Amino acid sequence: MQPSATLFNKSQLCLQLFLSFIKISPSTFGGGYAILPVIHREITDRRGWITPNEMHEITAIAGATPGGVAINIAALVGYRIAGIGGLLTSVAAISLPTVMIMLVLCTLVAVYRDSAVIEAALLGIQPAIIALIAYAAIRMRKDVLRSRMAWMTFGGSCILLLWTSLNPLVVIGCGMIAGCLVHYLQWKRAVSQAVQPIPSPSNPSPAKVRDVKITKMTS
């Protein structure tokens, strides 16, 4: 994944990245995958900086990388668009509002710790966060789950995550191994088909010889 900006417009892109991610960060509650729909809408739909397929690849890499998913996505998107400067700008922009909000909340936590209004608001936010994550998953499904192997990997991953205590990184590793195995089998099949001898007119294939014999017998 190489940065797509030239030296001429990197500064402008870094400014646009900063404004985009500093707007995304405080408008999303729940963090992690809950921020995906907002990033999709801003970076892919509104700005058109990267394609949906690139966004899905970035999401997969961010989920398999240690650290916060939102920060990882911001870093990868920033690097893809404007190189190292874009990476640093995006990470700073998506982190700054959260840090400032947390500082304010920490100063007020003693006052509002037992507030019934705050507890009710948090209870209402949680289902909305689940809806955001589900929306991101449904949107990714259209472009990712397009083959039998993808559906089998999806189903197997769901079973492992729901009914076992495996670390999610192990599940991600199993998916990577499955993808590499399928790619190897497809490559091996393509190679075997490419090296098959092509029958010449002087040396017809067994199927053609059998057809000729059947024609002579019927005549």
Residue 78 near residue 91 (C-beta atoms within 8 A): yes
Instruction: Please check whether residues 77 and 154 belong to one and the same domain.
Output: no
Nearest Cα to Cα of residue 85 among 22, 9, 25, 1: 9
CB 79 within 8 A of CB 62: no
Tens-of-pLDDT digits for all 219 residues of the chain?
Answer: 555 545 557 788 888 889 888 888 776 665 567 777 888 888 888 888 888 888 888 887 887 777 778 888 888 998 988 888 889 998 999 888 888 888 887 777 667 667 777 777 777 877 877 877 787 777 777 767 778 888 888 888 888 888 888 887 788 888 888 888 888 888 888 877 776 555 555 555 555 445 544 454 555
User: Domain of 139?
Assistant: 1-144
In a domain, 202, yes or no: no
Structure-token match 């985009």, residue found? 20
Specify if 210 maps to a domain: no
Q: Are residues 49 and 150 in the same domain?
A: no
How many angstroms separate the CA atoms of 8 and 27, rounded?
Answer: 31
In this structure, is residue 160 part of a structural domain? yes
Residues 69 and 28 in one domain: yes
With vertex at residue 84, the alpha carbon angle to CA 83 and CA 90, rounded to the nearest 5 degrees, is 90
Q: What angle do CA 149, 154, 155 make, to 5 degrees?
A: 100
Q: What would the DSSP string read from start to end of 46-82? A: IS--S-HHHHHHHHHHHHHSSS-HHHHHHHHHHHHHH
Separation CA 146–CA 42 (nearest Å): 25
**Closest to 78 in 3D by CA, of 137, 22, 141:** 22
The pTM of this model reads 0.58
Same domain, 139 and 152: no
- Residue 215 is assigned to a structural domain of this protein: no
Q: How many domains does the chain have?
A: 2
Token pair 């994550």 is at which residue? Answer: 133
Same-domain status, 140 and 154? no
Tokens coding 207:
């199927």
Nearest Cα neighbor of 171 from 161, 179, 180, 163 is 161
> Is residue 136 assigned to a domain?
yes
Rounded Cα gap, residues 88 and 45, in angstroms: 23
Report DSSP state, residue 7: T
